[in-house]
Amino acid sequence: MIINPKRVLLGMSGGVDSSVSAILLKNQGYEVIGTTMKLFEGEIEGSCCNVDSTKDAKRVCDFLQIPHYTINFKDDFNKYVIQDFINSYKNCKTPNPCVECNKYLKFGAMYKKAMELECNYIATGHYAKTQYSKEYKRWVLKKSNAGSKDQSYFLWNIPKELLEHIIFPLAEYESKDTIRKIAQENNLKVANKPDSEDICFIPNGNYKEFLENNSDIVPKEGNIVDSSGKILGKHNGLYKYTIGQRKGLGISNSVPLFVLGFNKEKNEVIVGEEKELYKKEITVSDINLLLVDEIKESLEVEVKTRYSLKTAKASIWQEENIIKVIFDEPQRAITPGQSAVFYVGDIVLGGGKIV
């Protein structure tokens, strides 16, 4: 197989980010091929993968005179993303489907397709950065210049051997307004298209209804208890609650109560006061290290435990297939199933799933 060193397969959702990425890549002299992934059956309004979005992506490609392919990845998406989503809730964990999609679809199956099309690179409209580091003598994943919109958090689980074959055209841009302006200047009709914020395969973000309609998860009454085991009320399904939740508990108490966790075996939701939500130590499994091959001694890093949160200083060390984390200051509402991502400065060291 002869790989074209300037050919890149660009994942396109029909939105403004990936559309502007096509313009930027083309202007940089790349031979761009656009692709949109078909990930699930049916139509979901506002999804990045519905018929309208696919049509938008194709229109952009036609306008820019680059080829566009729609590729069916429904089986892979169901296997790696939807089933993981369902199994996580079955086990009282809160999943992050974008992390799984990035690993197995956007930087897994799509990269295989890129090889078939003799592309040297794959690209997406993520706000992140890849760069060769002389200090670490390897390609690294870094934060972009987008500040709070940086998306490196969602990318910790991609295969590290792909980093030198990934381009993030939006890496240097600080503002979404700038991206929309580029789209307007290039006469793209998607310039003012709203961002898609819900989980792509769940209508209106109603994950509870999705679970009930697409799995064997059903409402099952159980007790709401405090951390000592005292029964305070009733719930109608563990999957309907998240750690840190305050509203909707149906409990009258002298001080506000929050969901602290779950006892799956006893079918109990455990609640307590806000001070009980804070933890200083966590364990992380399913680890993927990008910057090093293993962590041989304790490291001082910054850790992000949710996309919407700021990083927190911590010490980490590896024990075989897990990483232990001790924060400098206790952190609120740490949630099993979510990702803990480790940063050294603006470089992603790696990450894992909170146990």
Q: Which residues constitute the domain of residue 230?
A: 219-272
Sign, Cα dihedral of 100, 341, 322, 262: negative
Look at residue 47 in the predicted model and tell me its pLDDT: 53
Active site residue 200: yes
pLDDT along the chain (355 residues), means of 10: 90 97 98 95 57 91 97 96 98 97 97 97 98 97 96 97 98 96 97 87 89 96 97 97 96 95 98 98 98 95 96 97 98 98 98 98
Helices (H), the chain: 16-27, 51-64, 74-77, 83-90, 97-101, 110-116, 176-185, 207-214
Active site residue 61: no
Asked whether residue 136 is assigned to any structural domain, the reply reads: no
Q: Considering all CA atoms of the chain, what is the largest pairwise distance in Å, rounded to the nearest integer? A: 71
Does one domain contain both 27 and 97? yes
Does one domain contain both 343 and 313? yes
Does one domain contain both 327 and 193? no
Does one domain contain both 232 and 324? no
Asked whether residue 21 is assigned to any structural domain, the reply reads: yes
Look at residue 52 in the predicted model and tell me its pLDDT: 83
DSSP labels, 268-328: EEEEE-GGGGEEEEEEEEEEEESS-S---S-EEEEEESSTTSPPEEEEEEEETTEEEEEEE
Q: Which of 48, 61, 98, 200 is catalytic?
A: 200
Q: Which of 49, 98, 101, 119 is catalytic?
A: 101
Look at residue 244 in the predicted model and tell me its pLDDT: 97
Does one domain contain both 64 and 196? yes
Give yes or no for a contact between 298 and 282, defined as CB atoms under 8 angstroms apart.
no
Does one domain contain both 53 and 108? yes
Does one domain contain both 201 and 292? no
Sign, Cα dihedral of 237, 240, 245, 246: negative
Instruction: Give the predicted TM-score (pTM) of the model.
Output: 0.95
Does one domain contain both 229 and 350? no
Tell me the HSE value of 267 on the side-chain side, using a 13 A CA sphere: 11
Does one domain contain both 197 and 80? yes
Asked whether residue 150 is assigned to any structural domain, the reply reads: no
Does one domain contain both 342 and 238? no
